[in-house]
Structure 1
Amino acid sequence: MLIRFKKRFEKIAMGLLSFMPEEKEVSKLQDTIKEYETNEDWQLFLWKEEEDVLGAIGVYLDKQTDSAVIQHITVNPSHRNLGIGKKMVNALKKHYGATYKVDANKQTDKFLQKCNANTDE
């Protein structure tokens, strides 16, 4: 289930985001989390199954192009290759519906292709 990021999940979100190559440094992670907390155009969601948070997906809402651009997408390594990435993308598409077209940036495009999540569906 896709849930909206809340401050109480900050450490979990930082841990998940640290699996992304460009988010390795603690100061960079802190800046990224702060941006999600303070910028209304940046939205972070977590993927929860039962009581476990297994993944994170973050978007930038580009209001000029009506796109929700996926900036971050990551799954806990022990839960990879189980379709969680695709579930997150599909849930995001459902969440934004007709308001925003879900798209990828350079960093997330390969991940979306790997999990066979066609962003035009």
Structure 2
Amino acid sequence: MLVKYRDDYEKTTMGLLSFLPDFHNMKHLKAEMDWYTDGSGRQMYLWRNNHNQFTGVVGFELEDQFVLIRLLVLSPQERNDSTRKAILDAVAELFPEKRVMGTIATTPMIMRWRNIDGH
């Protein structure tokens, strides 16, 4: 289940984002958090698994006709196509009128998701 980011999830979110090599540096990690929380059209959601634990983060930008997935980070035990699919399905359900798209880095993941269900 997707849960919209709020300040009391900061430590959990930072912990999940630190799985990405770019965010091992605390300065870069904090800058990324600020970028999502300070900018209009940018949103971050946490993924809560069936055991009620936060195990992932998805960050995206909302545009007029599409949602641009900028990052999707999962804890090691959740790194699989079915979890990615569930998260991307949930994003698509949040914004049914918008097309889900990816950046250069996230496009391969988006294409796998599209091929699974024909999104």
Q: How does 1:10-49 map to 2 (within 5 A)?
A: 10-49=10-49
Q: CA deviation at 1:106?
A: 1.0
CA deviations over 1:48-77 (Å, ceiling 9, x no partner): 0232001111101123xx211000101100
Question: Identity across aligned pairs (percent)?
Answer: 23
Contiguous gaps of at least 5 residues in structure 2: none
Relative to the length of structure 1, the TM-score reads: 0.85
Contact 1:55 1:76 in 2 (8 A): yes
CA distance in 2, matches of 1:22, 1:106: 16
CA RMSD of aligned residues (A): 1.8
Query: What amino acid is aligned across from residue 77 of structure 2 in structure 1?
Result: S
CA distance in 2, matches of 1:110, 1:15: 24
Change (3 A) 1:111 1:15: farther
What SS does the corresponding residue of 1:54 show, helix, strand or coil? strand
**In the alignment, what sits opposite 2:90?**
91
Query: What amino acid is aligned across from residue 113 of structure 2 in structure 1?
Result: A
Task: Point out 4+ residue stretches in structure 1 off by more than 4 angstroms.
Answer: none
Contact 1:55 1:84 in 2 (8 A): no
Contiguous gaps of at least 5 residues in structure 1: none
